[in-house]
């Protein structure tokens, strides 16, 4: 199913157990400084399934519209985020048509990287390298599988920022023992576990 704008419609009503382990904002860079004016947000859900949910952001109305889910293999998380960025905010006109010609399944109700052959994936990623892409600000939370895949971004030339956890405190619900990392694990941090 394709929306009125010609963009692929992603599945809306999928339910699964997961936690959000990363967020990617897609949008426009400030012409002179850092930061971003976000147009879309991708949220990585990891648990019994791995999926990106994609949301359109309207800052003027303080609204966020969920467009659906893109299911992926845990080994293809960053590549799939690049494809989503291209489909939704990078793929304009001829680029969008080229992407949909290679991946017509993107028009169907259920969308995921499992529908892509390895050759199609490589062809799509090669197309994405040539497209005008939005800025990406990637926030990676503790334990995310995305943390080991960001080196893929070296092959692309668009603006991006990668923000990883500097410090964390995570308490396991079963043993109630806090695990500390970064500055929170060193003495004198001013925070007691």
Q: What is the pLDDT of residue 3?
A: 39
Q: What is the pLDDT of residue 21?
A: 94
Reduced to 3 states, what is the DSSP secondary structure of residue 125? helix
Comparing CA positions, the residue from 118, 14, 18, 120 lying closest to residue 67 is 14
Sign for the CA dihedral angle at 14, 37, 74, 184 comes to: negative
Q: What is the pLDDT of residue 78?
A: 94
Sign for the CA dihedral angle at 150, 152, 155, 156 comes to: negative
CB 184 within 8 A of CB 167: yes
Output the pTM of the full model.
Answer: 0.79
* pLDDT, averaged in runs of 10, over the chain (193 residues): 42 63 92 86 90 86 79 88 80 64 59 72 84 90 93 90 87 86 65 47
Share the mean pLDDT of the chain.
78
In whole angstroms, how large is the CA radius of gyration of the chain? 18
Range 149-167 burial, b when 16+ CB lie within 10 A, else e = bbeebeeeebebeeeeeee
Q: Compute the distance between CA of residue 38 and CA of residue 80 in angstroms, rounded to an integer.
A: 19
Q: What is the pLDDT of residue 46?
A: 93
Q: What residues have CB less than 8 Å from 56, skipping those under 6 apart?
A: 39, 40, 64, 65, 67
Q: What is the pLDDT of residue 43?
A: 94
Range 53-68 burial, b when 16+ CB lie within 10 A, else e = bbebbeeeeeeeeebb
């Amino acid at each position: 199913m394709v929306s009125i704008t010609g963009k692929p419609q992603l599945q809306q009503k999928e339910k699964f157990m997961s936690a959000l382990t990363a967020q990617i904002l897609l949008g426009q860079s400030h012409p002179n400084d850092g930061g971003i004016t976000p147009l879309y947000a991708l949220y990585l859900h990891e648990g019994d399934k791995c999926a990106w949910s994609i949301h359109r952001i309207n800052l003027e109305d303080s609204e966020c519209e969920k467009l659906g889910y893109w299911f992926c293999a845990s080994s293809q998380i960053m590549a799939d985020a690049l494809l989503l960025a291209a489909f939704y905010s990078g793929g304009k006109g001829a680029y969008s048509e080229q992407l949909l010609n290679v991946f017509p399944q993107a028009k169907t109700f259920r969308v995921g990287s499992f529908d892509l052959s390895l050759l199609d994936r490589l062809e799509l990623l090669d197309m994405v390298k040539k497209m005008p892409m939005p800025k990406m600000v990637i926030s990676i939370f503790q334990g995310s599988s995305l943390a080991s895949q960001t080196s893929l971004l070296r092959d692309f030339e668009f603006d991006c920022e990668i923000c990883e956890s500097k410090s964390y405190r995570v308490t396991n619900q079963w043993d109630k023992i806090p695990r500390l990392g970064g500055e929170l694990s060193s003495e004198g941090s001013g925070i007691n576990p």
